[in-house]
Each structure stands twice: as structure tokens, then as C-alpha cells.
Amino acid sequence: MNPVRNSNSSLGNKIPSRVKIIIKNLHTKIPVPQARLKRAIREVLLSQKRYRRADITVCVVTDASIAKLNARFLGKNAPTDVIAFDLSKKEVPPRLVADIVISADMACYNAGAFGTSALYEIYLYVVHGMLHLLGYDDVTAKQRARMQKKAEYFLRKIGIKPNSLCPSIKPKR
């Protein structure tokens, strides 16, 4: 992964000086376009001024795998769409170190439920996870609406629309 440099962004000096992103697709149901997912992560990072450095790993897993993580770390014994873990330590300058875990099964199910594509759902979950890492929350209806609006903004910014990527994979629930 090449670091992102100031010279290749229309956003000038707001871009983080070093961003390392690793994408691991541990699920075979949805092919994951790494370059575009990394771009989505970078766009969210560009929106803030705190982190100039970041090391982010995204893992796309099964419902069973994310359910185990959800139970272990959040006390919820069920699968979920995305979990974001902030592993950062206090450093100067601050560096975001994080893992984002996404359920491909949930993406397929929600694509059918919401009339989107499974791939759109994957992008949405990545952006949603990044927003959590930057301090956004979705406990209340107002917070959820704010996060959803922000996530849709970032997806539109990189040309991702709900039905523009691929046909939905039929849910198996």
C-alpha cells in the first residue's frame, strides 16, 4: 500500500500523510474491489483533521464469525453488519489503528431487504465503521439519521449509488 500524498488530492493538505489499509475477504460470496474500498476509507479520513496517519484492516467474514466477535466484545449473541475496533494508542501525532469487520452474509440479506446490492452494503458498512472510529454514534434515531446521511454523502462522493454496482444476491434467511 502506497502512502497517500498531498499532491494527488483535490483536497490539498487535509489528506493524511500515511495511510495503510489492508482488505481481507475471508468470505467467497462477494468479490470485494479493494481499490475502491480503500478509496472510501481515505475519503472518510480526509473529512477529519485529527489523524494524519492510519493503519486500518478490513475483514469481510461470515455471519457466524461476526456473531462470535459481537458476543465476545459487545455482549450481543447475534450477527451484525459491521463492528469497528479502535486499537489506537496515545501517540503524537495521533495515529488511527483499527480493525473493521463486516458480515458478507448480512450484506447479502440487507441488499435484498433494502433493494440495494450486496456490494453497496459492503461499501456502506466500511464507511459506517469508519464513522464510528471517528467518534460518530448511532444509539438514538437522530444519531442514526446523521450517520446514514454522512455515509451516503461519502459513497456519492466516490460514485457509489445503491443500485449502481451489481445485482443483489438473494438473501438466504
Among 25-34, 54-63, 114-123, 147-156, the range of highest mean pLDDT: 54-63
Domain annotation covers residue 171 = no
Domain annotation covers residue 95 = yes
Domain annotation covers residue 102 = yes
What are the grid coordinates assigned to 81, written together?
A: 453488519
Structural domain count of the chain: 1
Q: Whole-model pTM? A: 0.84
3-state DSSP call for residue 20? Answer: strand
pLDDT score for 100 = 98
CATH number at residue 101: 3.40.390.30
Calculate mean pLDDT across residues 75-102: 93
Task: Using alpha carbons only, give the angle 61, 87, 131 rounded to the nearest 5 degrees.
Answer: 70
Kindly report the average pLDDT of the chain as a whole number: 84
User: pLDDT tens-digit profile of 128-162?
Assistant: 999 999 999 989 999 999 999 999 999 999 888 77
- Band of pLDDT at residue 17, cut at 50, 70 and 90: low
Domain annotation covers residue 43 = yes
Query: Rounded to an integer, what distance in angstroms lies between the CA atom of residue 12 and that of residue 7?
Result: 7
Domain annotation covers residue 162 = no
* Domain ranges, residue 91: 6-157
Residue 166, pLDDT > 90, answer: no
Domain annotation covers residue 167 = no
Burial (CB count <10 Å: 0-12, 13-18, 19+), residue 79: buried
Domain annotation covers residue 24 = yes
Domain annotation covers residue 141 = yes
Query: Rounded to an integer, what distance in angstroms lies between the CA atom of residue 158 and that of residue 163?
Result: 14
Calculate mean pLDDT across residues 28-42: 90
pLDDT score for 91 = 81
